[in-house]
Structure 1
Amino acid sequence: MRILFGSGSHWKLNRKLASSITWREGSQKAFEAMFRREMDAILPNLSKPGPMCLSDVIRPYIVNVIVTVLRGHRYPDDDPEMQHLLKVLTRLDDVDLSSMSTLLALAFPRASSKLCPSSPNLHAISSDMQSVVRGWIKPDAPTRTDKDSTLISTFTQSEEYKDQNTDDKEMVQSMLDMFFGGVTSSMSVIEYLVLFLVHDPKLQTRIQEEIHRVIGKRQVTLEDREKLPLVEASIIETLRIGSITTSSLPHVSVEDTQIGDYHIPKGTSVVASLYSLHRDPKHFPEPEVFKPERHIDANGVVTRPKSFLPFGVGPRLCVGDTMVRVGVFMFFTTIMQNYTITPVEVGSPPPFSSRLRIVRRLEPYQVLLVPRDSELKDTN
């Protein structure tokens, strides 16, 4: 993943071009419009009775937004290529980067089918996705237009990129990084946040009351975020305790450095443990407790301490952080506005069982979504 792990002039240019899309002025409003459009499409699927795995429901919603950012167009419903992408992501869900079989498969790709026949083939998944992305960037692709503010058009219109690259390899890799990173990060935050509230129904009720008081039944907007401190603090607390990204990406010291008692020689790779940072009791008392109130000051304003770094730090800060934050806020607030989420079996919420995929992800779990209209009628 070149935006993630690369270095040098190519990496700097790729990151510059990618961040120009996600961090440009007006990007949050653009993302808001994309996510709202997908929410309108997804709400009917959430109204179906019976247990559901939220991951399966939200995956197309997240995919279509990120595909729109990359190429400028969402997939129509039941599009064959969309179904193919969803199958690829489902295969990726089976990956466990902490397992020996996965590590062996990565180290010996040619022998992986014999060494680890039951392990997902990451090289095959990557190759599959590269083929899809190359179809997007072909000059004669039916959805291709270099007039849109997409990642494809940003690369193709950059004279600097044309000068540095003789083929589209860099563009393909950058798009894969944003696609996989954006989808998996967004899904993981939502999965953790929902499960925390299934375990704490009183907090869920307080969040719903805040949303009802501020928004009522109208559509959620990004302007509502600063008026919903408990919602925003719950998202921040999920990013902290969920530790979606368990460590920073590798940095390399450019000169001999002293950090506290540690001497870091020039050329040394350095990785920061964000998981440990977010559980440091010096910064977060009772670090294992899900407590959104810790991020709200005496005046009711949401705060973010310097020790809160869910998307990394420095030049390798995740370029998709803005998109993820907007998507999670829009999805979560809309869900809480319309539904109460309960365990399938009363008194037995799913456990917090996780594994390390591209990011830290929970094992799939099922919940029940109860329409709030029916709840309100029952209380009248």
Structure 2
Amino acid sequence: MVYHLIYVYFSLPQQIIKMFDPVSILLSVVVFLFLLNTFFDNKRNVYKNFPPGPRSLPLIGNLHNMLMRRQKPHLTFHEMAKEYGPVFSIQLGSEKIVVLCGYEAVKEALINYADEFSERPVIPMMTEISKGHGLIFSQGDTWKVLRRFTLSSLRDFGMGKKTIENKIQEEGDALVEVFESYKGQPFENQMIMNAAVANIIVSILLDTRFEYNSPTLLKLMKLVNDSVRLLSSPMALLFNAFPSILRRIPGSHQRVFENSYEMRNFFTETFVKRREELDMNDQRNLIDAFLVKQKEEKPAPQMFFHNENLLDVVSTLFGAGMETTSTTLRWSIMLMMKYPEIQQKVQEEIDRVIGSAQPLVEHRKQMPYTDAVINETQRFGNIAPTAIPHATTRDLTFRGYFLPKGTHVIPVLSSVLQDPTFFAKPLEFYPEHFLDSEGKFVKIDAFLPFSAGRRSCLGENLAKMELFLFFTILMQKFTFKPPPGEEVDLTPNSGVTTSPLPHKICAFPREQILA
């Protein structure tokens, strides 16, 4: 790689560099950069009819464009789409990447060409963490087998069933007790919401729950939250462009690796204990089911159900199952504080349909306004602005452009959720996006917060159940307000997921408000 030459040059002792005439060095650098630029121009034009994009710089490609937006590259993609169209390309280091913006382009790729866009690219940061194992960044038969197993296990251990509904209701009651303990005083709710949602996925993985102040749970949540924030840092982007140089250089990317190592250690200890207690005829959770598969696997022992895949599956389900749903719930409370008139309409519908009874999933069909508010929270909150990158499984022509096999593709989900063709007020919180003129709930094709196609979110049904039950339970019991004298700031934080800025909330029991 050409960047190795620069690395070697600047690693030379200063005494050697001083031996050369400054004018000669300057001339050499100019010639070198000219040749380097020619090299990248030629590389950029290897494929005819490749999507257009901004001119890239030698070595770094378009990294400078990505870093200008302070860890919010999807905003840069939105701007580029205005100039280059819904299908364009960028270059990060030596990697050429195709970006898809807007509902039509994303839908055509992920749904109409589902098989062709179903692979994952090699991303150095993720390869360092997962080594190609597990659910998200595995490929070929490994991905197919593990996805099928995980979907089946999630259903077997509660997803979409009354058993998990009961667990969410019980966890909702525990959440209410914690909120009540603050007696209307301001408090920060991130770790509390994380814990409540984490306990639902933990019940599927381990058939247990943690107290909210459990050191183990607090540690796991801290590791996930820290990594989510750091994965979009400048050092993470640089590592993906220049992994060979940065692998041993200190920086925030090293902390992501350390966090992953710590989490994997915890789950290693956990499933080793599960293996010792395993009853083949009494599978109580997903880890048990995996260990049984490990014993039964044929024809080649541990071709798919080996320990590394188990570690990655469990870590992924815990992290993804906790982070996105709890972040959406935090947005929902924040938006209710910002728009008290919407909060009041939600509570009036809850009072009319449910009253003081326990909220049930079946109530959702009778509550179009609450349903619309939850959907609009997901749309406005824009939790995952870019889908996890895809890669093409074969050479193909897409929308007139040639994409060779293995092309790295980024679908920009925020451009879908903010597509003005489908949403009248794309940058505003407006529940009426999901209501017709008679107040009935309407589905919108461009509502794709869980992505789409072969690689769409495995836990979509579980997340929908959690969002409705947790939100309805909290709205039934509390009225939320900002601390006295504070304004609600809807500016999103930076990170792989889009979360609210740190803030405090006040939860007033509704009987106090009504008294």
Mark yes or no: TM-score above 0.5. Answer: yes
Look up the SS of the partner of 1:258 in the other structure: strand
Task: Indicate whether 1:62 and 2:210 are aligned.
Answer: no
- Cα shift at 1:109: 4.6
Task: Indicate whether 1:285 and 2:424 are aligned.
Answer: yes
Q: Judging changes above 3 Å, is the alpha-carbon distance between structure 1 residues 342 and 143 closer, same or farther for their aligned structure 2 residues?
A: farther
Q: Judging changes above 3 Å, is the alpha-carbon distance between structure 1 residues 207 and 143 closer, same or farther for their aligned structure 2 residues?
A: farther
| Counterpart among 164, 177, 186 of residue 44 in structure 1 | 177
Task: Give the superposed CA RMSD.
Answer: 2.5
Kept in 2, the 8 Å contact 1:72–1:150? The answer is yes
Task: Indicate whether 1:135 and 2:269 are aligned.
Answer: yes
Kept in 2, the 8 Å contact 1:232–1:302? The answer is yes
Kept in 1, the 8 Å contact 2:225–2:323? The answer is no
Q: Judging changes above 3 Å, is the alpha-carbon distance between structure 1 residues 97 and 163 closer, same or farther for their aligned structure 2 residues?
A: closer
| Counterpart among 497, 501, 504 of residue 363 in structure 1 | 501
1:210 matched residue in structure 2:
349
- Cα shift at 1:55: 0.9
Aligned pair count reads 371
Structure 1: how far apart are the matches of 2:277 and 2:466?
Answer: 24
| CA deviation vs aligned residue, 1:150-186 (integer Å, no higher than 9, x gap) | 2212222323485414741101101111110011111
| Counterpart among 285, 291, 295 of residue 434 in structure 2 | 295
| CA deviation vs aligned residue, 1:274-323 (integer Å, no higher than 9, x gap) | 11111111121221121112212345442222221111111111111122
- Cα shift at 1:237: 1.1
- Cα shift at 1:99: 2.4
Q: What amino acid does structure 1 have at the position aligned with 2:266?
A: V
Structure 1: how far apart are the matches of 2:274 and 2:343?
Answer: 49
Structure 1: how far apart are the matches of 2:163 and 2:386?
Answer: 29
Task: Indicate whether 1:17 and 2:146 are aligned.
Answer: no
1:101 matched residue in structure 2:
235
| CA deviation vs aligned residue, 1:231-269 (integer Å, no higher than 9, x gap) | 111111122122211122222223333333433233322
The structure with more radius of gyration: 2
2:54 matched residue in structure 1:
none
Structure 1: how far apart are the matches of 2:435 and 2:136?
Answer: 32
2:255 matched residue in structure 1:
121
Look up the SS of the partner of 1:315 in the other structure: coil
Task: Indicate whether 1:373 and 2:493 are aligned.
Answer: no
Kept in 1, the 8 Å contact 2:275–2:291? The answer is no
Look up the SS of the partner of 1:341 in the other structure: strand
Structure 1: how far apart are the matches of 2:352 and 2:332?
Answer: 21
Kept in 1, the 8 Å contact 2:197–2:325? The answer is yes
Look up the SS of the partner of 1:361 in the other structure: coil
Structure 2: how far apart are the matches of 1:150 and 1:303?
Answer: 36
Structure 1: how far apart are the matches of 2:501 and 2:220?
Answer: 20
| Counterpart among 468, 492, 501 of residue 329 in structure 1 | 468
Kept in 2, the 8 Å contact 1:73–1:143? The answer is no
- Gaps spanning 5+ residues in structure 2: where? 1-129
Task: Indicate whether 1:224 and 2:330 are aligned.
Answer: no
Query: How many percent identity over aligned positions?
Result: 26
Moved more, 216-225 or 239-248: 239-248
Look up the SS of the partner of 1:14 in the other structure: helix
